[in-house]
Amino acid sequence: MEQILFRHNRPGRSVSFAEYRSEGGFTALKTALKEMSTNEVQQSVIDSGLRGRGGAGFPTGKKWSFVPRNLPGPRWLICNCDEMEPGTYKDRILLEANPYSLVEGITLACYAIGVRHAFIFIRRGYEQAAINLRRAIAEANGAGFLGENILGSGFSCDIDVHVSAGRYICGEETALINALEGKRANPRAKPPFPAVKGLWGGPTVVNNVESLANIPYIISNGPEWFKATAATPEAAGMKLFCVSGHVVNPACFELPLGMPLGEIIEGPCGGMRQGSRFKACLPGGASTPYFTIEQWDVPMDFDPVAKAGSRLGTGGIVVFDQNTCMVAATLNLVRFYARESCGWCTPCREGLPFVVHLLEHIENGRGSEEHIDILREHVKHLNQAFCALAPGAMGPLDGLLQHFEDEVREHIATGKCPCRN
């Protein structure tokens, strides 16, 4: 299968600058700076159908087009590498293998949007990725692919790596901007959106690592080629799926968007472990409602997954077998979100611990029927939180109540967890 982002991968080490260049690296940048206008670069990305790989799936080129062109003062690009969604590790794998696609992608994006200075906001735990990126930026600078007057085009661009103190909420773009400014990582009210008023009040684009890393290949090979790499006509491009859980071969794979869930598990993942039967999975990271065997054939692309009642999210697939207690799994996830709440708004700060409290009761055999009603109330009311953290946290709970209500009721009726001995 053709690989895009993983095409330069070397076993056991990251690709070198020379290797990346010898395999066509930075030709996209050369082409763009020599032959394409900024609008053409942006149009290519729009035409490619590339949708944001960070979770929300917003079309990347469209996001760029929201940046006002005529405002005075600097505008900014931020690469969001605060990858903290449980079950998601694609950006780490990518950057540990190859930081150059991202550096080239950021430079191209900066060219398209007219950004002089970009930031990579990376979480503390990603030490090797940060080392790789700093090295890649230095090498790119040395070779004239970054800095002043890149390749004699008159376009200048710098990239800074900001290693953040790291919180889940920093993945939310406005909280990330606050954190980058040195403020508390609370999300900001929208509107104004960052594209209009973001970092230090300037127009700001925040893109995911994987989205940006794809740009060089879109520019080199054209939007049509990129689109065609997907598995279905509706989907566009390849996607990094990071699989974990009860499969034979849990790893990060670059697969065509739109590949059915079952094929991913049966194919690259090598099927379920010995003795394990597929019970459910998180299709796109910890904040997405569960898929069950009924969704086995759903094409893993943004719209089909949404149509099936969940979200493609980050593409972090967490597979559960028949021995998994879905109440315990959900409890584990919501506990994470309760801890990672920034504490700004009431539903998230107080509602999530309430949900944890109720799930603990049910899991420990002290649940009651009334608890299910209260949980449903929370699924509804936590949608009214300030940002998407609490609604995301309700994803798995929503899935639990939709697909596994019987299992929850069994906990309550028998006064114990049926999956525990």
Partner 1 sequence: MPKLIIDNIPVEVAEGTTVLEAAQSVDIPIPHFCWHPALGKAGACRVCAVKMLDGPVKGIQMSCMLPVMEEMVVSTTDPEAMAMRRSVIEWLMINHPHDCPVCDEGGECQLQDYTIAGGHGIRRYTGTKRTHVNQQLGPYIEHEMNRCIQCYRCVRFYQEYAGGTDFGVMGSAGRVYFGRFQDGPLESPFSGNLVDICPTGVFTDKTARFRARYWDYDMAPSICQECSLGCSITPVARYRELLKIIGRRNDAVNAWFICDRGRFSAATPVNNPLRPRTPRIEGREAGWDSALDAIVQRVSELLKNHGPGCIALVGSQRLSLEGMALLPELSTIMLADAPCYFCDERERVQTSAAVTGLTGAISASMADIRQADCIAIVDVDLMAEAPMMVLAVRQAWRSGAGVYSIGETVDLPCECTAVATLDDVPLATAQRPVIICGTSGFTTARQYVSLPMAKGEPVKISCILPGPNSFSAALFSHEHAAISLEQAISSGRIKGIIAVEADIPPELSADIPVIAALDWRNTDTVAAAQIILPTTAWAEMDGTCINNEGRAQHFRKTMNPGLPVHGLNPAGHPSHLHRTIPPGGDLRPAWQIIDELIVRMGGTRTTEQLNGKWEKLRHLDAEGDGLPIYEL
200 binds partner 1 (CB under 8 A): no
Closest CB 388 distance from partner 1, rounded Å: 14
User: Contacts with partner 1 in 136-155 (CB under 8 A)?
Assistant: none
Among 316, 351, 367, 395, binds partner 1 (CB under 8 A): 351
The one segment of 116-124, 267-275, 299-307, 345-353 that binds partner 1 by CB under 8 A: 345-353
350 binds partner 1 (CB under 8 A): yes
Please name the residue that has the structure tokens 């076993």: 11
The full 3-state SS of 143-179, as one line of letters, equals CCCCECCHHHCCCCEEEEEEEECCCHHHHCHHHHHHH
Secondary structure of residue 69 in the 3-state scheme: coil
173 binds partner 1 (CB under 8 A): no
Closest CB 374 distance from partner 1, rounded Å: 6
124 binds partner 1 (CB under 8 A): no
Nearer of residues 331 and 342 to partner 1, judged by Cβ: 342
Among 30, 234, 344, 407, binds partner 1 (CB under 8 A): 344
Closest CB 224 distance from partner 1, rounded Å: 38
The one segment of 19-27, 54-62, 324-332, 352-360 that binds partner 1 by CB under 8 A: 352-360
The one segment of 23-31, 62-70, 93-101, 336-344 that binds partner 1 by CB under 8 A: 336-344
Angstrom distance (rounded) from CA 183 to CA 291:
38
User: Contacts with partner 1 in 381-420 (CB under 8 A)?
Assistant: 381, 384-386
CA dihedral 65, 71, 75, 77 (to 10 degrees): -10
Q: 370: how many CB neighbours lie within 10 A of its CB?
A: 10
336 binds partner 1 (CB under 8 A): no
Among 8, 167, 246, 411, binds partner 1 (CB under 8 A): 167
Do 61 and 43 contact (CB within 8 A), yes or no? yes
Angstrom distance (rounded) from CA 261 to CA 283:
8
Do 81 and 91 contact (CB within 8 A), yes or no? yes
Nearer of residues 169 and 281 to partner 1, judged by Cβ: 169
277 binds partner 1 (CB under 8 A): no
What residues contact 300, with CB distance under 8 A and at least 6 apart?
239, 241, 255, 257, 258, 259, 260, 261, 264, 283, 312, 315
Nearer of residues 169 and 261 to partner 1, judged by Cβ: 169
Angstrom distance (rounded) from CA 47 to CA 61:
8
Helix axes 127-142, 100-113, angle to 10 degrees: 60
- β-strand 238-245 against 316-321: which pairing, if any? parallel
The one segment of 104-112, 230-238, 314-322, 372-380 that binds partner 1 by CB under 8 A: 372-380
List phi, psi (to 5°) of 180: -65, -30
Nearer of residues 319 and 342 to partner 1, judged by Cβ: 342
Among 342, 375, 379, 408, binds partner 1 (CB under 8 A): 342
Closest CB 173 distance from partner 1, rounded Å: 16
The three-point CA angle 154-80-158 to 5° equals 20
| CA 194 to chain centroid | 18
Nearer of residues 315 and 347 to partner 1, judged by Cβ: 347
Nearer of residues 328 and 385 to partner 1, judged by Cβ: 385
Nearest to residue 94, comparing CAs of 198, 3, 195, 202?
A: 3
Residues binding partner 1 (CB under 8 A): 167, 169, 184, 189, 338-347, 349-351, 353-354, 357, 361, 370, 374, 377-378, 381, 384-386
